[in-house]
Amino acid sequence: MVDQKKPVWISFGEHVRGLRRQMGWSLDQLGRETTYSATYHSKVERAVRSPKQGIVEAMDSAFGTNGALLRMWRDVARLESGAGWYEQSEEYEKEANEIRFFHPFVIPGFFQTEGYSRVLISHTVPMANEARIQKTVAARKAWRERLKTEDSLMLSVVIPELVLTQRVGGSQVMREQLGRLAEEAMARGTTIQVLPLGLSDFTWTVGAFRLIYVGDRSPIACSEHTTGEHVTDEAMQVRRLEVAYNKLLSWSLPPDASLARMTEIKEAL
C-alpha cells in the first residue's frame, strides 16, 4: 500500500530534509541524534506522517534551530486541526517571559473592563448578540488571568494619550477603565507608559502589535488586523517592530508620570 501524503505537512517535511542535508546527515545519523527511528524521520520528510511534538523538539535541538522548527510545527499542527489565530498567539504567551504591547486606538484587551469591552464589541461587531459579547468579554478577562499566572513575566504596554481621552461608553465607563489601568500600572512586573498628544513623531501609525519573548528563543511578532492576527518569527519583521516599540518608548512619559497622567484624565471626567 502506497503511503498517502498529508498536503499540510509537505512544506514542513521539505524544510526538515533541507536542515538534515545542511548538517550532512543521513536519516540513520539523524535518528541517532534524536533517538527516533530513521523510518519515522523518513515519513516526516515525505509528509506521510504527522510528527509529534517530541520528535520535533529533538530535531530542533539537533539542528540548533533555537525553537524555530518547533514554532513552524505548531503553526502547521494548528492549521491541520483548524485552530485559529487566537489559539496560535495564546500558545506562545503561555511560555513568555516578556511581552511588549502597543495599540494605537484602544486599550489592550487584557486590561479592558467589561463596560469598555462591551462598547467596543457592539460597535466593531454590529450583529453580535449577547452570547457573542459575553464570550468575547470572558476571553479578554481570561487573557489577563493567564498572563498573571507566570510570576517571571514582564509586561510592557504603551498607550497613546488620545486613547485615554476618548469617552468610550461615556464618562462612567471611562472612569472605571482608567481606574483599572491605574491598578494595573502598580502591579508587579507591569509597566504602562503613556504616549503624549501633540508629538512630531508618527511611529504610532505602525499599527497594533505584540512582541513575545520566550527564553533564549527567537522573538515572536504578532501584528493585529481587522480579521485576526499575523504571527511570525521572521527576523526582519521582528526587528522592524522592535525598533518601532523602542521609538514609542523613547517618546512616552516615564511610568510614574504616566500613572499621574492617567489619574488626571480620570479626575477630569
pLDDT tens digits, residue range 142-163? 777 777 666 788 999 999 999 9
- Helix axis angle for 53-63 and 38-45, nearest 10°, is 90
Average pLDDT, rounded, for the chain: 88
What CATH topology corresponds to 7-81? 434 Repressor (Amino-terminal Domain) (1.10.260)
Sorted by sequence, the CB contacts under 8 Å of residue 109 that are 6+ apart come out as 117, 140, 143
Side chain identity at residue 64, one-letter code? G
Do residues 117 and 173 touch, judged by C-beta distance below 8 A?
A: no
Residue-wise pLDDT for 18-48, tens only, equals 999 999 999 999 999 999 999 999 999 999 9
Q: Which fold has domain 85-268?
A: Endonuclease; Chain A (3.30.870)
The residue type at 226? T
Question: CATH 1.10.260.40 residue ranges in the chain?
Answer: 7-81
User: Please, where in the chain does CATH 3.30.870 lie?
Assistant: 85-268
Alpha carbons 89 and 209: distance in angstroms, whole number: 12
With 0.75 as the threshold, say if the pTM is over it: no
The residue that leads in pLDDT, 128 or 105, is 105
